[in-house]
Amino acid sequence: MMEMKEDFFSNARVLVTGDFIVDQYVEGIVERISPEAPVPVLRKIQESFRLGGAANVAVNCQALGAKTTLLSLTGFSCYPYDLDLLLHKEGLNGDNLIIDPSVRPIIKTRFMADGHHILRVDDEEIVKMNIQTQNLIIKRFEELVHAVDVVVLSDYAKGFFTETILRTFIDLGKKFNKIILVDPKGINYAKYKGCTLIKPNKKEAYRAAVCDSTEPIEKVANLLLDQIDPDYLLITRSAEGMSLYSKTGQVQNYPTSRKEVVDVVGAGDTALALMAVALGAGISIEEAVKIANAGSS
């Protein structure tokens, strides 16, 4: 893999857009079982809030040194976090984080005991976007897309990507010759048609291709390439590494450097961010995948 200086990614300009999520962590100690039910009692020690969803991808891009812009949507929260402070702490600004009072913020709360994840509670409601908010998001994208190299579509299926927004973003990105990376959700991958690269994990890829797990992964890849028509399909395979398929029929496998994958939480966002900043810095797709594979495994 090519050597890179510390500031190599500083000339990359990345626009990250998608569902905005806040991750809450409640950490404590379990010392006994509840007398009310056979469940552990967590004695709370501390809580913290972090940016999640598409915002976490933006955090990773910013941390890697890229000039990062976040375009997303949230509402007013009753949870005790300071949104401006969360963004500022990560070097991001909220200029293009649209606040809609009708939107209920998405909060994922993870309860941790002695470093172990014991429970997650999702406080969420799928966004039902009105036409005014949709038009505002599209207008912001039209203003921002000219000044970036890479557009990242981070889809968590929480309602940000309406059919109109998704199609407009991909079409405008292609019109202005931008690299469009997609982290997909759901099974209808046809909606991402025409993107530069789409990055499902192995389980997601099989589900979207409607294939049994016994089918060869090459069959899955070919079905998805036909359905989406991207330049590249990158399937992440956990301990097996990554496989890159091109529309021209080329296949490259990238084995992971680790023998065991212990915790995959956040690995997908890290890989996506590494791909985005590497491509934004002018690195070839093959080298970018090597970087993403090494940095997220």
Contact 279, 6 (CB under 8 A): no
What lies within 8 Å, CB to CB, of 217 at 6+ separation is 202, 205, 235, 237, 243
3-state class of 244 per DSSP? strand
Enter the tokens of residue 102: 């009708």
* Helix (H) or strand (E) segment spanning residue 223: helix 217-228
> Would you say the C-alpha torsion 8, 13, 15, 20 has a positive or negative sign?
positive
Query: Whats the size of the chain, residue-wise?
Result: 297
Amino acid at 13: R
Distance, in Å, from the CA atom of 49 to the CA atom of 198, rounded to the nearest integer, reads 29
Which strands, in side-by-side order, build the sheet including 116-123? 40-53, 20-33, 106-113, 116-123
Q: How far is CA 20 from CA 15, 72, 228, in A?
A: 14, 6, 25
177 alpha-carbon distance from chain centroid = 22
Residue among 19, 23, 183, 269 flagged as catalytic:
269
Contact 231, 247 (CB under 8 A): yes
Annotated catalytic, 269?
A: yes
Query: Token pair for residue 125?
Result: 């409601």
Annotated active-site positions, please? 269
